[in-house]
């Protein structure tokens, strides 16, 4: 099988395609035949050495869609069963998606009810689960208003779709006024410009998901109604630490975070029921074969077009 192995951190030329034997299933792991996976900016940062917990050599990539290739009776899976996987150490503590087959812990494999093709399915695991968990973290009711800060990101677009399908009123932000039409076309009821880390509005919202990160969370909190919640999800600004924070800033409001490590089969089932019922999807900006993985990494960082970047093995 082909695997993209990184021996040491660096630019895209460290992505070396090598031949490896297909792994074998054991009592706690199944072999997943990977058909496709999404590529994300933070994986490029890992490739460059920006994740101190990741040691090399490593096959990176935190999510994949595919089928069970080999398993054991105690796993509960069947050969050929359609599955997804994400996080749980995938592509970080052990080898991840940038290969044709992967040995995956049974506890981080999730079955999916989805009849579409593999590339279409590959947009969902990391992006939509992150979006869905974030929406749920706000504990809003239909008719309430949610603001998505960083709405033109892939997770932001997925969040707009999912929140709208859940009966929420959606406001989304962008730093570029010419992208407002993209947000409304994808379901946002209104658009607010985010300028120099400040929302250009005095409106208060029932809940806010901040995909920009700790750089803007103070301003997001200032736009949350009393009793509401701000959820920090993204790191679009590249800063992990919330500076100069006082708990008295909360003023009877809440702050939380969500990452896609908090997922189980019930959540996956709930998500795909909504996806199938409402036919939810976001743009796929470009599809690359595994042999062009370096070009896929460069494309993600160049960000020439809004949407998910997918690599296929088919």
Whether residues 249 and 290 fall in one domain: no
Distance set, CA 15 to CA 103, 205, 222, 293, 296 (Å): 20, 44, 43, 7, 11
How many residues make up the chain in this entry? 314
Domain range for 95:
2-123+282-312
Q: What is the pLDDT of residue 242?
A: 74
83 and 186 in a single domain? The answer is no
Q: Is the peptide bond before 165 cis (omega within 30 degrees of 0)?
A: no
**Residue 268 maps to a domain:** no
CATH number of the domain within which 170 lies: 3.40.50.720
pLDDT value, residue 243? 78
Domain boundary among 223, 241, 257: 257
93: tokens are: 């503590």
Coil, strand or helix at 145? strand
129, containing H or E segment: helix 125-137
Q: Has residue 223 been placed in a domain?
A: yes
Q: Please indicate, yes or no, if residue 29 is contained in any of the structural domains.
A: yes
Domain total of the chain: 2
Which CATH number goes with the domain that contains 103? 3.90.180.10
Residue 271 forms part of a structural domain? no
Contact 147, 160 (CB under 8 A): no
If asked whether residues 100 and 133 sit together in one domain, one would say: no
Is 273 inside any structural domain? no
Q: Is there a single domain that holds both residue 103 and residue 131?
A: no
Quick one: 130 and 147 in the same domain?
yes
Residues 153 and 165 in one domain: yes
Q: Does residue 196 fall inside a structural domain?
A: yes
- pLDDT recorded at residue 20: 98
Do 135 and 115 lie in one domain? The reply is no
Residue 212 domain flag: yes
**Quick one: 154 and 202 in the same domain?**
yes
Domain identity same for 147 and 252: yes
Phi, psi of 4 (to 5 degrees): -95, 105
| Residue 143 sits in the same domain as residue 87 | no
286 with 210, same domain: the answer is: no
Q: Cα(184)–Cα(206) distance, rounded to whole angstroms? A: 20
Residues 141 and 249 in one domain: yes
Query: Which residues of the chain fall short of a pLDDT of 70?
Result: 234-240
User: Tell me, what's the pLDDT at 235?
Assistant: 61
């Amino acid at each position: 099988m082909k695997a993209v192995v990184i021996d040491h951190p660096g630019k895209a030329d460290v992505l070396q395609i090598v031949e490896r034997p297909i792994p074998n299933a054991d009592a706690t792991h199944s072999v997943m035949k990977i058909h496709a996976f999404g590529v994300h900016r933070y994986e490029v940062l890992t490739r460059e050495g920006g994740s101190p917990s990741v040691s090399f050599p490593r096959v990176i990539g935190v999510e994949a869609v595919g089928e069970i290739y080999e398993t054991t009776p105690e796993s509960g899976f069947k050969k050929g069963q359609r599955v997804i996987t994400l996080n749980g150490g995938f592509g970080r503590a052990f080898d991840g998606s940038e290969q044709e087959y992967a040995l995956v812990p049974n506890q981080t494999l999730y079955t999916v009810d989805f009849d579409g093709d593999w590339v279409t399915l590959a947009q969902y695991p990391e992006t939509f689960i992150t979006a869905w968990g974030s929406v749920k973290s706000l504990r809003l009711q239909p008719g309430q208003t949610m603001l998505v800060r960083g709405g033109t990101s892939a997770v932001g677009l997925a969040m707009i779709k999912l929140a709208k399908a859940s009966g929420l009123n959606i406001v989304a932000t962008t730093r570029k006024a010419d992208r407002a039409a993209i947000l409304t076309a994808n379901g946002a009821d209104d658009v607010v410009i985010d300028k120099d880390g400040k929302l250009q509005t005095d409106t208060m919202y029932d809940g806010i998901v901040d995909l920009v990160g700790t750089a803007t969370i103070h301003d997001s909190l200032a736009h949350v109604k009393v009793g509401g919640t701000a959820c920090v999800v993204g790191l679009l600004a590249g800063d992990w630490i919330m500076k100069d924070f006082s708990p008295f800033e909360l003023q009877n409001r809440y702050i939380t975070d969500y990452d896609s490590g908090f997922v189980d089969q019930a959540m996956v089932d709930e998500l795909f029921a909504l996806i199938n019922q409402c036919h939810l999807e976001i743009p796929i900006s470009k599809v690359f074969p595994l042999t062009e993985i370096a070009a896929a990494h460069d494309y993600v960082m160049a960000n020439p077009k809004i949407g998910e970047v997918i690599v296929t093995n088919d």
